[in-house]
Structure 1
Amino acid sequence: MRLLLLRHAKSDWGDPSLEDIDRPLNSRGKAAASRMARYLKEHALLPNQVLCSTSLRTRETLARVLTSLPQEARIHLLSDLYLQSEDDYLSLIRKYGGRSQNLMVIAHNPATEETALSLAGTGDPMAIADLKEKYPTAALAVIDFDIADWSELQPGTGHLERFVKPRDLKDDLG
């Protein structure tokens, strides 16, 4: 089974009257989310189920991802993904993941980074070092597991297959 942990793209801080949960993506964030969506499609990293925070910036990131999916995906908007700890993300993945082969979580830091670090027991040393250094906006960790159901998810049992940041991608994905 494969877990795709996507941090929301860069949000707009221009309107101080907005609550944190209501901040939209800024222009750079929109471009990065679209770039990551193209990457997901180009590399066949296509979720069949998505758990997404209810914040505006995560939902706007999700909207860009959905444009690249050639298939239907089941979507759960979960307020519990908004500003929760890594333990809460694990419990939400266990609860809602079911038998989904490719599960995507679109959420926030530091919980997204902590979840990735908690789950990745093995992987390319360079990718792990990169992940430990910083988990920027719109970054994606791809972690593979040898489990039959997400309820079996345990820390340290995943293999970090790759860690991708939007700034590392060419516009043409070539």
Structure 2
Amino acid sequence: MKLFLLRHAEAEFGSGPEGDISRELTIRGQTQISRLALLLKKDQIRFDLILSSNAKRTKQSTEILTHSLLVKKTHFLRELYEADPHQVLTIINKINEGDVFNLLVVGHNPTISTLISYLTGEEFINLQPGMMAKIEIHVNNWKEIGRHTGTLVEILQ
């Protein structure tokens, strides 16, 4: 199994809680994700499931990827917006579909970067906007994922 963790691409500045969730990608952010989508397509990466925060910038990042890649299912979850690493892990642990081998989670920092370190035992890696971590998972199902159950394979951008 492979877990991909993506920090949304560069977004506009916003103010206040309503402003933050509504922040859109900048032109540069759109370019970042489009470039990443081409790289993933070239490597023939396919996602069985994408779980994305429902914030505007993560939705836009996800939608750009799904236009270029083969994706079976996509879910936008309010719970991923402002989630801490433990909450994201709990969401991942609830996946009980046996046909999910490549999972992508699209979210926010510092949560995404902290989760990489927790799962892999790597020192803290601060993903910049539009960067993705590819993690090889060493357990048999999503319910068993936890501390040090994965190996960081690469960082993509």
Length-normalised TM-score, structure 1 = 0.83
Which of residues 151, 154, 157 is equivalent to 1:162?
A: 154
Residue in structure 1 matching 2:132, options 137, 140, 147: 140
Match of 1:60 in 2: 60
Q: Is the 8 A contact 1:98 1:151 kept in 2?
A: no
Counterpart CA distance in 2 for 1:2 and 1:85 is: 21
User: Does structure 1 conserve the Cα–Cα contact (< 8 Å) formed by 2:139 and 2:149?
Assistant: no
What runs of 5+ residues in structure 2 fail to find an aligned partner?
none
In structure 1, the residue matched to 2:78 is 79
The residue type paired with residue 101 of structure 1 is F
User: What is the deviation of 1:30?
Assistant: 0.4
Alignment CA distance shift 1:87-1:144 (3 Å): same
For residues 26 and 48 of structure 2, what CA distance do their matches in structure 1 show?
Answer: 27
The corresponding residue for 1:35 is: 35
Which residue does 2:51 correspond to in 1?
51
State the one-letter code of the partner of 2:30: K
2:6 is the counterpart of 1:6:
yes
**Structure-2 separation of matches of 1:97 and 1:53:** 20
For 1:155 and 1:146, locate their aligned partners in 2 and report how far apart those are by CA, in whole Å. 11
Distance in structure 2 (CA, Å) of the matches to 1:37 and 1:75:
16
Cα distance in structure 2, aligned partners of 1:119 and 1:53: 20
- Kept in 1, the 8 Å contact 2:46–2:71? The answer is no
Shift of 1:76: 1.3
Structure 1 residues 141 and 95, CA gap change in structure 2 (3 angstroms): same
Give a deviation string over 1:62-107, Cα, whole Å, max 9, x none. 01100111x3421111111111111111101111363310000000
Q: Map Cα deviations across residues 106-125 of structure 1 (whole Å, 9 max, x no partner).
A: 0000000011110014xxxx
Counterparts of 1:148 and 1:96, CA distance in 2: 12
C-alpha deviation, 1:148, in angstroms: 2.3
Q: 1:35 to 1:97 in 2, by over 3 A?
A: farther
Number of positions where the alignment pairs a residue of Structure 1 with one of Structure 2: 155
CA RMSD in angstroms comes to 1.7
8 Å contact 1:97–1:103 — kept in the other structure? Answer: no
Structure 1 unmatched runs, 5+ = 122-127, 167-174
Partners of 1:133 and 1:117 in 2: how far apart?
A: 7
What residue identity is the alignment partner of 2:112? T
1:139-167 deviation digits (Å, cap 9, x = unpaired): 11000112222011111110111012x3x
1:36-82 deviation digits (Å, cap 9, x = unpaired): 1111111122211000000000000001100111x342111111111
